[in-house]
Amino acid sequence: MPNAIHVFSEIGRLKQVMLHRPGRELENLVPDHLNRLLFDDIPFLEQARAEHDRFAEVLRQNDVEVLYLEDLAAESLTSPEIKQQFLKDYLAETTIQSPEIIKEVTDYFLSCDNDRELIDKTMAGLAKNELELPNTQSLAGTVDDQYPFLIDPMPNLYFTRDPFATIGNGVSLNRMYSETRRRETLYGKYIFAHHPMFQQNPPHMLYDRAQPTRIEGGDELVLSKHVLAIGISQRTDAASIEQLARKVFENEPSFEYVLAFDIGQERKFMHLDTVFTMVDHDKFTIHPEIEGELTVYSISRAGDGVTIKEEKDTLENILCRYLELNAVELIRCGGSDLIAAAREQWNDGSNTLTIAPGEVVVYDRNTITNQKLAEAGIKLHKISGSELVRGRGGPRCMSMPFVREDI
């Protein structure tokens, strides 16, 4: 039986992908708490859903099977015992400490008509006014009484790329940078452990969400069946990369190198895929600020361990050397206009989703970057993203490949 996870490149024809259709969690964003939930603004849910539905439609029109996180999570609650354990784990990662309130909330979720409704409600969060809470007195509860939520919503869930990453036949189940997003990986934990599609041939688990150091999927790019690129960024630290590299070499024999790109700690460069994506065998989108000399740490096998080598070189030379190419073409986000580059990078101009070699999904608003991609011979599928982009993520961020054809 073929592996349920099969991703050995960024550009092989996409056959199966997981998305999350934005839900009520976006309507639970409120202005006073946007920073806590990693948003700059509040998307209009109806329009965000319309944009997301069009994204899914474009993928289906190109023969991609679209799966949804919320469906897979619901289908993973295959017994009453698993459902109870899921809720126990879910509530353990909230701020609720009162046993009485935990019981009330558990009963509330178990009263849902079906498992999909339960999953949707866990994602949306729980406002205090949705329950009649027991009158428990505590200093902490009194001080925090003005906060509207008993359980925070998860508005970043439609960026399915980050909670885990698919690498070869394996999965990196990540520990997220912010406490706000760490709960998102719980759905992946239950999907890969209990969903029927992963039971006969389960994927190798290459990283565990319980680890103390952070890593996110937007920093993990499978450049080829031999080379994995990972960003040392605001969201991913060096210790996680080394740990992941060791597990990749142990479980995925085709991989020979893990390249750790040091891209700095700025939020605008929060992930490697916000400044660099692969769109064809020898073509890449980049943000102009990562041109010039880069610091890259090359991690390779050494017996049962690894060897780490620091390299300082241009991105072109690094890509040519490790991908065994004579030359590469770097397509600048925003072209040569620094103002356009800053604007379009902020709106995820570099965050393309490649669905086949030389064929990508992009936001239509990044007109200059899109023109440069077209001039380089790249076929574009443009989608609107006026609301989706408010969460600071593009087509790659919103998609988790499960199966790609080999190249």
Contact 236, 216 (CB under 8 A): yes
Residue by residue, DSSP assigns 279-304 as EETTEEEE-GGG-SEEEEEEEEEETT
* Cα–Cα distance for residue pair 236/258, rounded to 1 Å: 14
Q: Which two tokens stand for residue 106?
A: 């558990």
Q: Give how far Cα 24 sits from Cα of 46, 244, 334, 368, Å.
A: 10, 34, 34, 34
Which residues neighbour 251 within 8 Å (Cβ) at sequence distance 6 or greater?
168, 170, 204, 206
Give, in degrees to the nearest 5, the angle at Cα 176 between 276 and 243: 80
How do beta strands 400-404 and 329-332 pair? unpaired
Name the helix (H) or strand (E) containing 383: strand 379-383
| DSSP single-letter state for residue 43 | -
* Cα–Cα distance for residue pair 346/247, rounded to 1 Å: 33
Residue 132 CB neighbour total at 10 angstroms: 8
| DSSP single-letter state for residue 221 | E
Q: Which two tokens stand for residue 156?
A: 């970043």
- Residue 397 known to be catalytic: yes
Q: Which two tokens stand for residue 84?
A: 């109870």
Residue by residue, DSSP assigns 388-406 as GGGGS--TTTT-EEEEE--
Contact 156, 38 (CB under 8 A): yes
How do beta strands 126-127 and 65-68 pair? unpaired
| DSSP single-letter state for residue 170 | E
Question: At residue 16, what is the residue type?
Answer: Q
Q: Which two tokens stand for residue 391?
A: 């969460």
The catalytic residue among 112, 320, 333, 397 is 397
> Of 354, 346, 350, which is closest to residue 378 (Cα–Cα)?
354
Show which residues are catalytic.
397
